[in-house]
Amino acid sequence: MAARKVHPAGFTLIEVLVCVMIIGILSALAVPQYFKSIEHDKASEAVNLMMALKSAQDRYWAKYGVYCNAAIAACSGFDYDPPPLKYYNAMPAFTAGSAGNQSWSLVLTRNQTPAVYGAYKMTYDIEPNAAPKMTCDNSSCVQDLIPK
């Protein structure tokens, strides 16, 4: 009978270390992108609400000739009741823009401090003879969360 060669089973220490190093590099690149993606989804709550309120303000303007520049409950005839917010502080009141009743502004403040962005506020501003403008008080927020 011929003798059989026995091959050791398993991985060498170097092979295991290389695998751990590759996984570490991939996770270092993927985790920040994951947090950005999650925050983008959460910011969509504010963007969708601001778009719905813009439509309601347009209808209010068509009906009364001025914008609602107070708490929604104080504007009789305002036809939109916003849902409770999950990721932003309670619904603030509209504020008058630079042109008084001919303009309006709304600010939503993030109710937590996300890892990548920190605390931030999103603002939607309507002024006469200007395009509607959505801004954020954090430069990373402007780049990643504001729709283009």
Q: What is the pLDDT of residue 63?
A: 94
Per-residue pLDDT of the chain (148 residues), as tens digits, is 666 776 777 888 999 999 999 999 998 888 888 888 888 999 999 999 999 999 999 999 999 999 999 999 898 999 999 999 999 998 888 998 888 888 999 999 999 888 778 889 999 999 988 999 999 988 888 888 888 7
Q: What is the pLDDT of residue 56?
A: 94
Q: 31-47 burial, b if ≥16 CB within 10 A, otherwise e?
A: eeeeebeebeebbebbb
Residues with Cβ within 8 Å of residue 13, at least 6 apart in sequence: none
Q: Which pair of tokens denotes residue 118?
A: 């920190």
Q: Are 86 and 44 in contact (CB under 8 A)?
A: no
Q: What is the pLDDT of residue 1?
A: 60
DSSP state for residue 87 in the 8-state scheme: S
**According to the 3-state scheme, what is the secondary structure of 93-145?**
CCEEECCEEEEEEEEEEECCCCCCCCCCEEEEEECCCCCCEEEECCHHHHHHC
Rounded to whole angstroms, how far apart are CA atoms 73 and 46? 19
- List phi, psi (to 5°) of 96: -70, 140
